[in-house]
Each structure stands twice: as structure tokens, then as C-alpha cells.
């Protein structure tokens, strides 16, 4: 539970945002042609359409399609649903379960969890801070 909270608190900026803040950064613009995320290789707006949403910032058409199949809502054609309750929180739990992240949480493996959630280690210090706070409250 502590690791889950640390990740979603970081990804959502303490539940302030359920949609990725879009600034047309080079990394964000590159989402548009990220076929590894299920987006098309053309510059057609897929990156923005399937930008991070929900408390875990689900990203890419593949994730939106998988969540559509498993959660029974059409996130591919209605991506903004992922930014609304109950789907913002349910999608976070779905992603966590789909990627078997409890296995790594049970090992207290913040690095692997962060890599699987973020694709890298962005915000690692913030995630560590949230993890310590969650542990201080929940593991008394």
C-alpha cells in the first residue's frame, strides 16, 4: 500500500492532477510517434490524445486499449474518462495489478516499481519522500 501511494502521489502531484500537464516538451512531442506505447508512427496527435491520465498517469494507446478491455469502458474513444472518478483511481489499481507491482513492493524495491510506472527514474527523490511518509503513517 505504501509503494502504491508513493507512486500515485508523485504521478498526480498529491492528487492535484489527473491529466498530464502538457507543455509540448521534446519528450511529450515524442509521444506522438511512440509505437512502443501503441501510438501510430505518424505525427497525428496520438501523443496528446493518449497522454498521461489517472492517478498513475496511464500513457499510450496500448495502455488505453488494455484498460478498455479489462475495465469495460471505452478509454480509446473517450480518453478523458480516465481523468474522472472512479476511473482515475481504478485505472491506477488496474495498472498496478496488471504489472504485478505488489511483488516488487513486497521486496521494498522502489527502483523497479518506479521504472515500471515511469519508464525511467523521473522524480525518484519525490517518490522516496512519499514512500517514507506513507510508511510513517501506515506502518506504525
Model pTM above 0.85? yes
Reported confidence tier of residue 7, pLDDT bands at 50, 70, 90: very high
Domain 2-138 CATH (choose: 1.10.530.10, 1.10.287.3510, 1.10.260.40, 1.10.1050.10): 1.10.530.10
Amino acid 140: pLDDT:
77
| Cα dihedral 81/4/125/58 (nearest 10) | -20
- The residue assigned the cell 513486497 is 106
For 18, which DSSP code? S
- pLDDT single digits (tens) 20-60: 999 888 989 999 999 999 999 999 999 999 999 999 999 99
- pLDDT single digits (tens) 56-105: 999 999 999 999 999 999 999 999 999 999 999 999 999 999 999 999 99
Residue boundaries of the structural domains of the chain: 2-138
Query: Which of 10-13's residues contact partners 24+ apart within 8 Å by CB, and which partners?
Result: 10/123, 10/126, 10/127, 10/130, 11/52, 11/55, 11/56, 11/57, 11/117, 11/118, 12/55, 12/56, 12/57
Mean pLDDT taken over the chain: 96
Amino acid at each position: 500500500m505504501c509503494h502504491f501511494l508513493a507512486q500515485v502521489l508523485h504521478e498526480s502531484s498529491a492528487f492535484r492532477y489527473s491529466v498530464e500537464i502538457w507543455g509540448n516538451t521534446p519528450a511529450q512531442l515524442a509521444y506522438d510517434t511512440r509505437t512502443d506505447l501503441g501510438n501510430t508512427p505518424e505525427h497525428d496527435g496520438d501523443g496528446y490524445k493518449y497522454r498521461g491520465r489517472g492517478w498513475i498517469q496511464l500513457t499510450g494507446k496500448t495502455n488505453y486499449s488494455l484498460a478498455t478491455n479489462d475495465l469495460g469502458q471505452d478509454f480509446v474513444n473517450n480518453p478523458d474518462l480516465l481523468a474522472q472518478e472512479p476511473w482515475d483511481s481504478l485505472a491506477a489499481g488496474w495498472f498496478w495489478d496488471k504489472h504485478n507491482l505488489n511483488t516488487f513492493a513486497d521486496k521494498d524495491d522502489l527502483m523497479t516499481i518506479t521504472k515500471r510506472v515511469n519508464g525511467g527514474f523521473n522524480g525518484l527523490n519525490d517518490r522516496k519522500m512519499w514512500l517514507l511518509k506513507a510508511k510513517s503513517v501506515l506502518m506504525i
